[in-house]
Amino acid sequence: MLDKTRGFVLQSIRYGDTSLIVKVYTLNEGLQTYMVKGVTGKASQNRIAFFQPLTFLSFVQTGKNRQGSMAYMKDLELDYVYQSVPTNMNKSAILMYLSELLAHTLTQQERNESLYQFVHQSMVWLDLVDSGYANFPLYFTLELSRFLGFYPQANYQQGLVFDMMEGQFVASVPLHSYYLDERQSFMLSQLLNRGVDDLHTVALSGLERNALLDGVITFMRLHAPVLKGLQSHEVLKTVLR
């Protein structure tokens, strides 16, 4: 019996009439690309819904990814079945943002079990909670920066501002324009190193949350240039006001 691989979908692209090329971040091997044949059509055993972004799968991998060839996926099963995310407009907007964020940043990632578990546990949490998740996109984005190696230093004191280029709070306004003002810096400090279950205790208005999200994304872009094309956060800002 072949061992099953676990992973979450980052992106899928149609290939020919019935096939897909699917990028998956796997638990055991990091970022992998697979060919999936026969996704559409009456005889298909693979439902195309399986390949939506941030769908968690278990599957058997056949072949190897090497130059000139791709591995294949078979015996597909859902590793987690979302309960509320597909039908909740706010949660669906969050998923769209997170999936784009991950697709832009996990471009050459090797195996990182902690990162995989973070994404899995975070999405299960979002799926199961009924309320108190408005700050979740901020939390997820900041925690992702930890795995990418540039999490902000939690050295906040009253009156400091956050220098995005240095990734820390500083006493004087930087000469460049990449910083958060005193109010935004205070709000950021309230989110740092906070657990997901405590996010609801950080009181932010919709305008404050959106401004801080813009700031955090700018911080990410400075340290992860692949984020230049990120767009879905604009949709997110309209539903989480």
Asked whether the predicted pLDDT for residue 43 surpasses 70, the reply is no
Q: What local confidence, expressed as pLDDT, does residue 110 receive?
A: 87
Instruction: Tell me what percent of the residues of the chain surpass a pLDDT of 70.
Output: 92
Residue ranges covered by each domain of the chain = 5-78, 89-239
Q: Give the C-alpha separation, 213 to 166, whole Å.
A: 18
pLDDT tens digits, one per residue of 184-234: 999 999 999 899 999 999 999 999 999 999 999 999 999 987 667 677 778
The reply to whether CATH 1.10.4080.10 applies to domain 89-239 is: no
Asked whether the predicted pLDDT for residue 1 surpasses 60, the reply is no
Q: Give the C-alpha separation, 63 to 211, whole Å.
A: 47
Question: Closest Cα to residue 122, out of 140, 145, 106?
Answer: 140
Q: What local confidence, expressed as pLDDT, does residue 45 receive?
A: 58
Residue partners of 20: CB distance under 8 A and separation at least 6: 12, 13, 14, 35, 36, 39, 48, 51
* Buried/exposed 86-106: b ≥16 CB within 10 Å, e otherwise: eebebbbbbbbbbbbbbbbbb
Q: What local confidence, expressed as pLDDT, does residue 44 receive?
A: 63
If one compares 241 and 162, the residue with the highest pLDDT of the two is: 162
- The dihedral formed by the CA atoms of 167, 169, 171 and 176, expressed in degrees to the nearest 10: 30
Q: What local confidence, expressed as pLDDT, does residue 16 receive?
A: 77
Q: What is the mean pLDDT of the chain?
A: 90
Asked whether the predicted pLDDT for residue 39 surpasses 80, the reply is no
Q: What local confidence, expressed as pLDDT, does residue 227 receive?
A: 67
Asked whether the predicted pLDDT for residue 168 surpasses 70, the reply is yes
Instruction: Tell me what percent of the residues of the chain surpass a pLDDT of 90.
Output: 71
Q: What local confidence, expressed as pLDDT, does residue 216 receive?
A: 94
> What homologous superfamily is domain 5-78 in, according to CATH?
Nucleic acid-binding proteins (2.40.50.140)
Asked whether the predicted pLDDT for residue 85 surpasses 60, the reply is yes
Q: What local confidence, expressed as pLDDT, does residue 235 receive?
A: 77
Asked whether the predicted pLDDT for residue 14 surpasses 90, the reply is no
If one compares 177 and 69, the residue with the highest pLDDT of the two is: 177
If one compares 239 and 150, the residue with the highest pLDDT of the two is: 150
pLDDT tens digits, one per residue of 86-124: 999 999 999 999 999 999 999 887 899 999 999 999 999
Please enumerate, as own/partner, the contacts of 41-48 that have beta carbons within 8 Å and a separation of 24 or more.
44/18, 46/76, 48/20
Residue 49 confidence class, pLDDT cut points 50, 70, 90: confident
